[in-house]
Structure 1
Amino acid sequence: MSIPSLSPEQLSAAREAATQARRARADLKSRVRSGEISLGQALDEAAADDVLAHVKVVDLLKALPRVGDKRAAEIMDRLDIAQNRRIRGLGCHQEEGLRSEFPG
């Protein structure tokens, strides 16, 4: 099965949709970084939005204040979350673990 060729209008629409998705994901991480929303609120938003559900868990953790590469990796190992896991792929126990790790 080959990839269908797209018209210039379809390519432009796909580029615009991808740009909007990247901006929405960056905005979520920015709001977490600034403290505007908590990790739990970010997880709730991602559960309701297909675009935000594609944020990597490690990137969301690193957006939290005082969480860098090392601490994010430790948390993910402790909660048995794969390094490439996205929010949509979290199990209920993993999500509960993240919420209890960062209450509020």
Structure 2
Amino acid sequence: MAFPVTTPEQRAQALAKATAARKARSTLLSDIRTGRRDPATVLAQADTDEIIKRTKVTALIRAVPGIGTVKATRLLEQLSIPATRRIGGLGPSQRQALLDALT
């Protein structure tokens, strides 16, 4: 499959959109790290917020104070959530299990 031909303006718009999304995800994870937002609130907003939907579950867990890479990996294994899963891809029972584990 060939890539579509885009104009320089379209590429610039796509680049700006991607940069804004990365900045918003970074701010979200920073807010969780500092305690301005809690994981329960973030998971509750996942149905309506595109930035939260596209954030990886691993990044969310690692942003919680006191949880590092090893604990995050173990938690994902216990909950049977793939490491590459995004928050928007979690089912209701997975989301609830994650919320229970983080609170």
Question: The TM-score by the shorter chain falls in which range?
Answer: over 0.9
Per the TM alignment, residue 84 of structure 1 is displaced from its structure 2 partner at its CA by: 0.6
CA distance in 1, matches of 2:83, 2:24: 22
User: What secondary structure does 1:14 align onto?
Assistant: helix
User: What secondary structure does 2:50 align onto?
Assistant: coil
Q: Which runs of 5+ in 2 are unaligned?
A: none
User: What secondary structure does 2:45 align onto?
Assistant: helix
Alpha-carbon displacement from aligned partner over 1:31-77 (angstroms, at most 9, x marks no partner):
10001111111112332112321111011100000000111111111
User: What secondary structure does 2:6 align onto?
Assistant: coil
5 Å-filtered alignment, 1:1-104, equals 1-103=1-103
Overall identity of the aligned pairs, in %: 35
Contact 1:62 1:72 in 2 (8 A): yes
How many residues in Structure 1 have an aligned counterpart in Structure 2?
A: 103
The one-letter amino acid paired with 1:14 is: A
How does the TM-score come out when normalised to structure 1?
0.92
Contact 1:53 1:87 in 2 (8 A): yes
The one-letter amino acid paired with 1:33 is: R
CA distance in 1, matches of 2:47, 2:34: 21
Contact 1:24 1:52 in 2 (8 A): no
Q: Which runs of 5+ in 1 are unaligned?
A: none
